Structure 1
Amino acid sequence: MPLFVYGTLMRGERSHRLLGRAPFLGIARTARSFELADLGAYPALVRGGSAAVVGELYEPDRETLASLDVYEGCPDLFQREMIELDGGARCEAYLMPAGQALGYPRIASGDWRARGR
């Protein structure tokens, strides 16, 4: 199952190396049903908004995915869930429960890299 990443795991970001040799499948956007919360050092994908969040798709093996679960604090901080992409395809992504993201600013563009522009 492809994995959608949208923050520090993307190419050129500080944690990208954790994807190891996972094949890059391309750039993608979520369906317009999410918010991207800015937690300072990293973002959080949250259900229930109207943004199409920008990210990248990878195909990690089970070992890499298990390591990413630990890195993402899954299932306590983030939860790996199925999401829908723009166009209807499905993949997995790390989401933060909406209650945990309360009070954090939102990145209206849905693009972590463009947050400071």
Structure 2
Amino acid sequence: MTNADYLFVYGTLKRGFCNHHWLGGARYISAAKTVKDFALYTIEYPFLCHTPALYPVFGEVYQISASELARADELEQHPDDYCREVIEVLLEDGTPLMAWAYFHPRPQGRLLTEGVFTAGA
């Protein structure tokens, strides 16, 4: 892994949410959305799932070091709970980028009707 790795976050790791501090010194790059369609479920915090493929998911991209990624893995209980995968995202300016994202293997909770997790969703 190099220092140029990226992490796409869509839930409580975003700025202004309760787990953002787990990213440590990760550098915010841009708002972003997934290129492929996915689904977001929530039980107070979101679950990104491959199926059903309903909509692009919106979030933020961070440049992240190996130690910061290890902290995020700890929070997300990778690989026992969430599984980290590389996906393609589009930055706010339209630039494509490959980034890590955390997926949950099973849909849980309430399906969000749009690809955005907000406080109280």
Q: TM-score range by the shorter chain?
A: 0.7 to 0.9
Taking only the aligned residue pairs, the percentage that are identical comes to: 36
Residue correspondences, number? 112
Structure 1 runs not aligned, ≥5 long: none
Alpha-carbon contact 1:107-1:115 (below 8 Å) kept: no
RMSD: 1.7
Corresponding residue for residue 79 of structure 1: 83
3-state secondary structure, aligned to 2:48 = strand
* The one of 41, 44, 48 aligned to 2:47: 44
Distance 2:72 2:97 in 1: 22
Specify which structure has the higher proportion of strand. Answer: 2
User: Normalising by the residue count of structure 2, what TM-score does the alignment of the two structures yield?
Assistant: 0.84
3-state secondary structure, aligned to 2:111 = coil
Distance 2:58 2:82 in 1: 18
Specify which structure has the higher proportion of helix. Answer: 1
Q: 1:27-66 alignment to 2 at 5 Å?
A: 27-38=31-42, 40-48=43-51, 49-66=53-70
Instruction: Report the residue type matching 1:68 in the other structure.
Output: A
Instruction: Report the residue type matching 1:42 in the other structure.
Output: Y
Give structure 1 regions of 4+ aligned residues with deviation exceeding 3 angstroms: none
* The one of 107, 112, 116 aligned to 2:117: 112
User: Normalising by the residue count of structure 1, what TM-score does the alignment of the two structures yield?
Assistant: 0.87
